Amino acid sequence: MSQTSETEGLQARRRSMTRRAKDFSVLVGTAGMVLLVLVLTGSLGWIEALSGIFVIGSVASAYYVGSASLKTGGGDVVSVAASTPDSVLTTDLLAALPLPAFEVSRDQQRIVAYNEPAASFLRLGPRRSAPPRASVIIRTPALLAAIETCLAAPEGVSSSLELEIGPDEHWRAHIHSVRASDSLLVLLEDLTPVKRAARARADFLANASHELRTPLTAISGFIETMRGPAREDKDSWDRFLAIMAGETERMSRLIADLLSLSRIESTEHMLPTAREHFADIVMNSVDALLPLASDRGVELVVEGAEDLPDVTANWDELVQVAENLISNAIKYSGTGSRVVVHCGVAADGFEARSLAAQLWEGSERMTLLQTPNRVAVNELNVWMRVEDQGPGIEREHLPRLGERFYRADQSRGGKITGTGLGLAIVKHIMTHHRGGLAVETRIGEGTAFGVWLPAAKDAPPD
């Protein structure tokens, strides 16, 4: 901006100087002619004429010196021009904007002003002596083309366009023509989070509908069969009805999981307030799953659920965490195997993670949710480790556990039905409780999921 103002100031000064020089010569010339005529006609003596020339010369010089002083004080003019209310306003306005914003001069197409967010968007280094050219700095061809179009167009043309920078980075550019400063104002709006949220929502809906449609298709298929080809074959009806009951159960499980996911999400910003016995939560969940364990021929045992500090928690949510992890362990390990639920207390979140999910030598490990650092350090944590002797989980699946609808065992023929929402629910609940979630696994030997969360403060001694 200062460059433009400097040029304008210089031109104004030159114009003013020329005008004064013209005035000066006209004034002196006319006065000289008048005096000469008066002297020649004898109306004026030589002495008076000379005095007249001196006075007129002095006045004219004083007039001209006025312009000369403007010349020597040129810097002031430039700085005055540079700090005209308009330009100061633009700089201050840009600085006040939280979005990247910059100004491009129309005549030289230079970036004459920009704010800090724009500096990082444009990757502008330290300030240079001359404003940089837009074509050198702007690396997004679409944005540069739009700016050039607006620069070439008559004043007052504005435009707005979406930019895709990289695979997952979206921006919207608003280009506005500013008449007062004969420049363009470019404003950039980051659309990436909005686009990401929209895609996640669309994916979620697509997945949920797909998961609901699968059992529905099976049920309606059997209804058709029972009404048509198998109408008279009453013996096969029992089998069909059993399958239909299973599919119905799957649908209601899915709906229950979807509902609890949305309930947890809607309360995620509110920290739990109730004080609960962590050991009771664990014991309750284990008791609820004993029938499933015995159904599957799995031995379910608890270790270390005594003398645990209380937690500030939502009882139902933590029960859901324990039940999801324990039922997975039971579901995914074979008959005759053993599932052990270990609990304990640790000095901080890091120690809790080691005790809960970093125990086996040579295991593949993954932290799926890390406690926020300020919480993890120096806060007593309680932890729970659910360990099974199942098939283990292939390493490539580990980072995606906890994603909604992600199932590592899909390729194993899908014998075990699940919603793929269990670990996503666990992760959400642990986030809500400022806790953590981690897994360790050894192929063919077993898997252990660990969760931990801060113990309730000022726990009364038992």
The contact set with ligand ADP (CB under 6 A) reads: 324, 328-329, 332, 388, 390, 393, 401, 406-409, 418-424, 447
Closer residue to Mg ion, CB minimum distance, 113 or 386: 386
Of these partners, Mg ion, ligand ADP, none, which one is at the site of residue 388 (CB under 5 to 8 Å by kind)? ligand ADP
Residue 398 Cα to chain centre, angstroms: 24
Closer residue to Mg ion, CB minimum distance, 131 or 418: 418
Of these partners, Mg ion, ligand ADP, none, which one is at the site of residue 329 (CB under 5 to 8 Å by kind)? ligand ADP
Q: How far is the CB of 212 from Mg ion (least distance, A)?
A: 17
Of these partners, Mg ion, ligand ADP, none, which one is at the site of residue 389 (CB under 5 to 8 Å by kind)? none
Interface with Mg ion, residue 420, by CB under 5 A: no
Interface with Mg ion, residue 402, by CB under 5 A: no
Q: How far is the CB of 414 from ligand ADP (least distance, A)?
A: 9
Query: How deeply is 359 buried, as exposed, middle or buried, from its count of CB atoms within 10 A (0-12, 13-18, 19+)?
Result: middle
Q: How far is the CB of 268 from ligand ADP (least distance, A)?
A: 18
Q: How far is the CB of 130 from ligand ADP (least distance, A)?
A: 59
- 229 with 200: CB under 8 angstroms? no
Please state whether beta strands 183-190 and 170-178 pair in parallel, antiparallel, or not at all (unpaired): antiparallel
- Name the region of 272 (left: φ>0; alpha: ψ -120 to 50; beta: rest): beta
Closer residue to ligand ADP, CB minimum distance, 1 or 329: 329
Identify residue 197 by its one-letter amino acid code: A
Q: How far is the CB of 210 from ligand ADP (least distance, A)?
A: 14
Cross-strand partners of 271: none
Question: What CA–CA distance (Å, rounded) separates 309 from 275?
Answer: 10
439, two tokens: 């897994």
Closer residue to Mg ion, CB minimum distance, 302 or 330: 330
Closer residue to ligand ADP, CB minimum distance, 302 or 408: 408
Closest by CA position to 454, among listed 382, 374, 369, 377: 382
Q: How far is the CB of 418 from Mg ion (least distance, A)?
A: 5
Q: How far is the CB of 417 from ligand ADP (least distance, A)?
A: 8
Closer residue to Mg ion, CB minimum distance, 181 or 328: 328
Q: How far is the CB of 98 from Mg ion (least distance, A)?
A: 42
Question: What CA–CA distance (Å, rounded) separates 429 from 423?
Answer: 10
- 264 with 316: CB under 8 angstroms? no
Stretch that binds Mg ion, among 102-110, 261-269, 307-315, 422-430 (CB under 5 A): 422-430
Question: What CA–CA distance (Å, rounded) separates 243 from 252?
Answer: 14
Angle at 112 between CA 109 and CA 115, to 5 degrees: 130
Closer residue to ligand ADP, CB minimum distance, 131 or 402: 402
Interface with Mg ion, residue 333, by CB under 5 A: no
Identify residue 420 by its one-letter amino acid code: G
Question: What CA–CA distance (Å, rounded) separates 104 from 313?
Answer: 55
DSSP 277: E
432, two tokens: 């809500």
Closer residue to ligand ADP, CB minimum distance, 73 or 414: 414
Closer residue to ligand ADP, CB minimum distance, 35 or 423: 423
Number of residues that bind Mg ion (CB under 5 A): 3
Length of the chain: 462
Question: What CA–CA distance (Å, rounded) separates 295 from 327?
Answer: 12
Closest by CA position to 425, among listed 286, 309, 268: 268
Q: How far is the CB of 330 from ligand ADP (least distance, A)?
A: 9
358, two tokens: 């970093």
Interface with Mg ion, residue 422, by CB under 5 A: yes
- 70 with 152: CB under 8 angstroms? no
Q: How far is the CB of 379 from ligand ADP (least distance, A)?
A: 28
Query: How deeply is 24 buried, as exposed, middle or buried, from its count of CB atoms within 10 A (0-12, 13-18, 19+)?
Result: middle
Closer residue to ligand ADP, CB minimum distance, 105 or 419: 419
Of these partners, ligand ADP, Mg ion, none, which one is at the site of residue 401 (CB under 5 to 8 Å by kind)? ligand ADP
What SS3 class is residue 302?
A: strand
Interface with Mg ion, residue 328, by CB under 5 A: yes
Q: How far is the CB of 407 from Mg ion (least distance, A)?
A: 9
Closer residue to ligand ADP, CB minimum distance, 181 or 333: 333
Of these partners, ligand ADP, Mg ion, none, which one is at the site of residue 368 (CB under 5 to 8 Å by kind)? none
Closest by CA position to 419, among listed 293, 258, 217, 202: 258
Residues 6+ apart with CB under 8 A from 21: 64, 67
Of these partners, ligand ADP, Mg ion, none, which one is at the site of residue 407 (CB under 5 to 8 Å by kind)? ligand ADP
The 10-49 contact track toward Mg ion, x by CB under 5 A, reads ----------------------------------------
Residues that bind Mg ion (CB under 5 A): 328, 418, 422
